[in-house]
Amino acid sequence: MEPVKIGIIGTGNISDWYLRGAARSNLIKVKAIADIRLDVARAKAETFGTQAVTVEDLLADPEIEIVMNLTLPMVHAEVSRRILEAGKHVYVEKPITATFAEAGPILKLAREKGLRIGGAPDTFLGGAHQAARGLVDAGAIGRPVGGAVTFMTRSSAHRYANPTFFIFKQGGGPMLDMGAYYITQLINIMGPVKRVTAVSTNGIPRREVIEGPLKGSVIDVEVPTFHNGAIQFANGANVAISLSWEVHRHRRSHTEIYGTEGSLTMTDPNFFGGTPQITRGNGDWTDIDTSAYAFGKPNRVMDDGRSEGDYRMIGVVDMAMAIRNNRPHRANGDMCMHVLEVLEGFERSSNEGRHIEIATPCERPAAVPKGTDEEVFTV
Ligand SMILES: NC(=O)c1ccc[n+]([C@@H]2O[C@H](COP(=O)([O-])OP(=O)(O)OC[C@H]3O[C@@H](n4cnc5c(N)ncnc54)[C@H](O)[C@@H]3O)[C@@H](O)[C@H]2O)c1
């Protein structure tokens, strides 16, 4: 089968991850990439063996079927609209749009045009998350009744050349930047969210940039950077959530799920692999064998020396195969919009002093079957 041809708009930091992922796939091929900074796109095209073109030429290329929107959140809606109007399927980095209000019209446009919309994160398709889901589906912890998720650091300011964008200003903060990984990880296990509630605060309203060109400058923090909330899933499970950029150290794990017959700890949802653990009742924690599942093995050494499974792009590969085989794709627009409604719901709940019911319909995506890399998506 001919690989499905992909285009990428937005060739900043995260595009490297996807271009690396694309290079590992025989099912898709990145035919062209584009950016308003054409020089940046050209340099990237040279590194990854593709071609840089203008946004207009990319959208006019009849061979390109799916266009990835890896631009910044504030232009996600506008760029996705152009992609759909050019008659192409779109796959968007998270969040699907900068605000929940912008998402509905984009999904509607896709539906009207008979085109697909998909979006990040695709980490839940990774081996560790699918192996854990397989055990929950088989009843290994009984019926899930609760859980807890935690992402707490002092801040991410040091990681960005310009950290003010999606970190400390409107449209940013720990919930909008990191929450999608956790909520999507939980939906993969338990299905859609029914309602959320939270206390969201801004405990450190002025921050000093600690690295990069803006080092030493002070940022006014405009958004809450500490959220403590609770999520009730449609299946009834009650999950605590803490996301913060105000914590130096803590001893809580990423994601735990508590069932009537046992407990589960899951791995970092920003990555695909790792070793989840399970208990039967009150017994000892035991490692879950993830080896029968694709996209979990460590394949990348990170800057801090640890090894991780980095398979960003498999959501696009799944979408490409779903188009060919006329089946639903897993990292889909409905779920992205549902997740964004949840993420905005925490701050709304805190501001309005009430629980927020989540209205966007979302179905739990199909499990990824056991098998080797890529073969699992071809059916
Ligand atoms: N950097 C990360 O670690 C990371 C991780 C996960 C997800 N993301 C998400 O990926 C997206 C991109 O983040 P990034 O870190 O790569 O940002 P970035 O600023 O490095 O790259 C964004 C690129 O988009 C281009 N661009 C902006 N508007 C455009 C337009 N209208 N048309 C064409 N190109 C345009 C910019 O010139 C820039 O090269 C964001 O939605 C972010 O939330 C980033």
Instruction: State whether the beta carbon of 40 lies less than 6 angstroms from ligand 1.
Output: yes
Instruction: State whether the beta carbon of 310 lies less than 6 angstroms from ligand 1.
Output: no
CA of 34 to the centre of ligand 1 (A): 12
Query: For residue 166, is pLDDT > 70?
Result: no
Placement of tokens 């940022």 in the chain? 219
pLDDT digit string, tens, across residues 201-232: 999 988 877 777 777 888 888 899 999 999 99
Which ligand 1 atom is at minimum distance from the Cα of 14? 16
Q: What is the pLDDT of residue 50?
A: 98
Mutate to test the pocket of ligand 1, among 18, 38, 71 (most ligand atoms within 8 A of CB): 71
For ligand 1, atom 19, the nearest C-alpha belongs to: 12
Q: What is the pLDDT of residue 228?
A: 98
Which ligand 1 atom is at minimum distance from the Cα of 73? 41
Statement: 4-119 belongs to CATH 3.40.50.720:
yes
Residue range(s) of every CATH 3.30.360.10 domain in the chain: 126-302+332-357
Instruction: State whether the beta carbon of 36 lies less than 6 angstroms from ligand 1.
Output: yes
pLDDT digit string, tens, across residues 63-101: 999 999 999 999 999 999 999 999 999 999 999 999 999
Cβ-contact 317, 28 below 8 angstroms: yes
Q: What is the pLDDT of residue 156?
A: 60
Residue 40, CA distances (Å) to 12, 36, 262 in order: 8, 9, 50
pLDDT tier for residue 160 given thresholds of 50, 70 and 90: low
Residue range(s) of every CATH 3.40.50.720 domain in the chain: 4-119
Query: For residue 159, is pLDDT > 60?
Result: no
Cβ-contact 78, 71 below 8 angstroms: no
Q: Which CATH architecture has domain 126-302+332-357?
A: 2-Layer Sandwich (3.30)
Instruction: State whether the beta carbon of 142 lies less than 6 angstroms from ligand 1.
Output: no
Q: What is the pLDDT of residue 157?
A: 59
Q: What is the pLDDT of residue 22?
A: 97
Task: Provide, rounded to the nearest whole percent, the portion of the chain with pLDDT above 70.
Answer: 97
User: Which of 65-69, 131-135, 301-305 has the lowest average pLDDT?
Assistant: 301-305
